[in-house]
Amino acid sequence: MDERRAVRFPRADLGEQLAAFAARWPAAAADRRGFAFAAPDGTRLRVPLAGPRLSPGEAAGDYLARLPGPSERQAVLLLQAGAAAIGYWDGDELVDHVAIRKYVVRGSGKAQGKHLRTRGKSRYGSRLRLQNWRRLLVAVNERLHSCWERFGAPERIFCGATVRTLGDLFAADPPPPFPRDAANLQRLPVHVHVPDFAELRTVRYWLEHGELELARA
């Protein structure tokens, strides 16, 4: 039976970790999602996503030559029914953040917008919940526009939201200050809990750390 042992490391140690990995497996290349390098024995090195973006199929040595990479402005957007959190980093400095909450979840735990799409019109507090959902989307987009105007468009945007929620966000007025197919927009490949400042910091910590997953018999 195979077992795996994971070693987490900060972005500052990426060069050291990758140099050792590339020396042992010089033919290792990035996976098709551009998240990690994979060795023949199953060992994987996941790069910190806040570091230079990894190209699918890129050789470990080529990526190593690009480190540490330029300082970037990066935004993190977390969005769920009833809650959102936004953070804007200039390099390692958090220059702006906000957490927003609105009452949009029904007693059954289903978001009002989703309920109306799947069950038709509801009664009682449905109108208030739907209005609050729309207000939340507007507040998120207005804050994003404010960040873009004050600090400039970031080089990277990390987003933690479902496809349906993103659809609602881009349908809002105003829409986000970037297109849905923006090349610098990247979905977070991790589960996001209810957005607040603590969750924003947790997600940023994950983005700033990589992981070496060792395979052993």
Q: Return the domain boundaries, the chain.
A: 3-70+208-216, 73-207
Distances, alpha carbon 95 to alpha carbons 45, 86, 148, 210, 216, in Å:
30, 11, 12, 23, 43
- Residue 40, pLDDT above cutoff 60: yes
Distances, alpha carbon 72 to alpha carbons 38, 172, 182, in Å:
26, 28, 16
Please identify, in words, the CATH class of the domain defined by 73-207. alpha beta
- The pLDDT value given to residue 118: 45
Residue percentage of the chain with pLDDT more than 90: 76
- The pLDDT value given to residue 81: 87
- The pLDDT value given to residue 202: 97
Prediction pTM value: 0.86
Of 55, 143, 63, 50, give the one whose Cα is nearest residue 91: 50
Question: For all residues of the chain together, what is the average pLDDT?
Answer: 89
**Span 184-206, average pLDDT:** 96
Beta bridge partners of 88: 75, 96
- The pLDDT value given to residue 1: 41
Residue percentage of the chain with pLDDT more than 70: 88
Question: For 16, what's the count of Cα atoms within 13 Å in the CB-facing half-sphere?
Answer: 6
**Span 26-36, average pLDDT:** 92
**Span 135-159, average pLDDT:** 97
- The pLDDT value given to residue 112: 46
Three-state secondary structure string covering the chain: CCEEEEEEEEHHHHHHHHHHHHHHCCCCEECCCCCEEECCCCCEEECCCCCCCCCCCCEHHHHHHHCCCCCCEEEEEEEECCEEEEEEEECCEEEEEEEEECCCECCCCCEHHHHHHHHCCCCCCHHHHHHHHHHHHHHHHHHHHHHHHHHCCCCEEEEECCHHHHHHHHHCCCCCCCCCCCCCEEECCCCCCCCCHHHHHHHHHHHCEEEEEEEEC
- Residue 196, pLDDT above cutoff 60: yes
Beta bridge partners of 214: 5
- Residue 176, pLDDT above cutoff 50: yes
pLDDT tens per residue, range 124-142: 568 788 888 999 999 999 9
Total Cβ atoms within 10 A of residue 96: 15
